[in-house]
Structure formats: structure tokens, C-alpha cells
Amino acid sequence: MKLQPGREAVVRVAVATLWTSPEAVRPVDRPALTAGADILAWVSGLDTDQQVGDCVLSQLLLGERVLVSELRTDGWARVVAVEQPAAKLDPRGYPGWLPSEQLTPVDPSTDTGTDLPLVVDSTVTGLHAAPNGPVVLPGVVVGTRLVPAGPARDDWRPVHVPGHAAPLWLPDDHLVATSAEAPAAAQALAVAQRLLDVAYVWGGLSAHGIDCSGLVHLAWRRFGVLLPRDADDQAVATTPLALGAERPGDLYFFARPGRKIHHIGIVTAPPGNGGERRMLHACYRRRRVIEEPLPADRTATLVGAHRV
């Protein structure tokens, strides 16, 4: 099977990066463009200015579905990431460009749609050729959905992996079953807290590097809740609260006067008697995920608290 415009495909690498255009990529981005997409090496090679370059739109996880809209002869595919809502950009999902070798056609024999029965709960794990065998696909991150290929054996679980004919294996305790029940806010917060000190990367959506709205999207995605990708869309998709009623796991939104929402954080403590507030967020200024009391300039731009 080959990739075809107008047809769906799935991501075959642990983390694929969605770019604004093929021409926008920089020499430093080379590790993220290969067939193996070494995202850890890519992030490690970025300086603080390159971490916030505007050439990255988002990232997609192993097995994530896209709609292919164009294939170029130089190896690039224009796609719509259908599992990342972005209503203001495209009603079908988030549009952008990927190296086509990081995609593979949907395999009908293992495709069960978007509601898959297993999800990676380990912050970062690797897929192995056999139980205790060599790692075939490193860097798989929390929130990745996988299709089981059989029962667990000796505490290892076989899974179908896009682009691999034979099942791959990972420790069974790195996976959990998906649930139809909505998660408690504290559960999503606990996932986000595991990403403390992860590097800030504009457009990042993984435990290797992440941005503010990516942190929120990924924390709820771990539980099967599909929030939009960008902060302003996340505000539309969540329920406003009266300031002062927020609790851990709720969301803070920030905007400058007359401007759209530009930042989001996850509430980590009820507001104090003096109005003190705390949040966990991927901080553009500090270039990493931090938990902190809201500084004065954040408080000045706080426009609301919402609940998922």
C-alpha cells in the first residue's frame, strides 16, 4: 500500500513534527526529519532561541491519524492532523507538513478506529523486538494509543505498530486500558506533573519537549479526552468558572488587553485568601515546564479559569 492524497494514513515514528512548510525547516531540525525522527536529539540540539522558532506547528504521536491532502516529489506530505481539533484553521483538524516517510497507510487488519483499547502510561518507553529484546522504536511517550496483538506474556505485551509487520513488545505495566469515563481533574494534573522540567518547545507535544497548550492537550489525551490543540480553542472547548472557584486540575487562561488568548496553565492549588494562585505550565520565558505562584505580570493578564 502507498500513501495517497485524499486517504488517511498513520504516524509510524514515536513522535512526528508538524511543520509550517518544507521550506521553513532549519539545519538544526535534521534529526526530527529522518525516517526515525530522533526527537530527543533534535530538542537537545536546540538553543533557547531555536526552541521558540515559529516553523513548528505541533507534533503527532505514534499511530496518530492524518488525512493526506498532498504528496510532493521531494518527500513531503501536506496533511490534516484529524485528532488535533483546530477549528479556526481547518474544521477537519490541524493542517501542516510532515516528511512522508514518517507516515504509513492505514492497515485495515489492525485498524480499530480512534478508540483504541490501550494507551501508554509510562512517561517515555521503547518498543522491543521481543520480550527483553532489543529496542526497535525508542522514545514512545505517554498518551500514545496502541492496538494489542495478543495477551501479555511474562509481564510483556505485544502490540501492533504502524510500519512494522510483526508485533513489537513493551512492559505490560507501561500500558493501561482506555476508559469511557471522564478522568478526574486531579488525574490529568498528575500526568502533567510528571512532565516538570521538560524543555519548552514551541509546538511541542511530547515528553521530549512541549508547549503550554500541548501540555494541556497531552495530559487529557492520556485519558481519551480530545481537547483542541491551541490555547484559544481550548478556552472555547471548556467551561468558564468564576475566579475564586477554581480547583487543582482546572485551567487558567491569559491574554493581553484586546488580544486573543496566548497562554494556558493548569491550576495546582486553590486560590489563597490573599488571592494568591499557583499553576503548572510550559513556560516560554523559562524554556521549561514549571510549577509556580502566578507572578504579577501573569496575574495582570489572567482572563479566566475554566474546567474541562
pLDDT (tens digit, 9 = 90+) per residue, 190-245? Answer: 999 999 999 999 999 999 999 999 999 999 999 999 999 999 999 999 999 999 99
CA distance 21 to 25: 7
Q: What is the pLDDT of residues 115-166, one digit of tens each?
A: 458 999 999 999 999 999 999 999 999 999 999 999 999 999 999 999 999 9
Query: Residue 64 corresponds to which cell in the numbers above?
Result: 496518530
CA dihedral 119, 123, 129, 132 (to 10 degrees): -110
Across the range 43-59, mean pLDDT stands at 96
Q: Walk across the sheet containing 168-171 and list its strands.
A: 135-141, 124-128, 168-171, 156-160, 145-148, 118-120, 175-177
Predicted model pTM: 0.95
pLDDT tens digits for 102-122?
999 998 776 555 445 899 999
Q: For 302, list phi and psi in degrees, rounded to 5.
A: -70, 120
Question: What pLDDT sits at residue 110?
Answer: 66
The residue written with cell numbers 498532498 in the block is 70
Backbone Cα Rg of the chain:
19
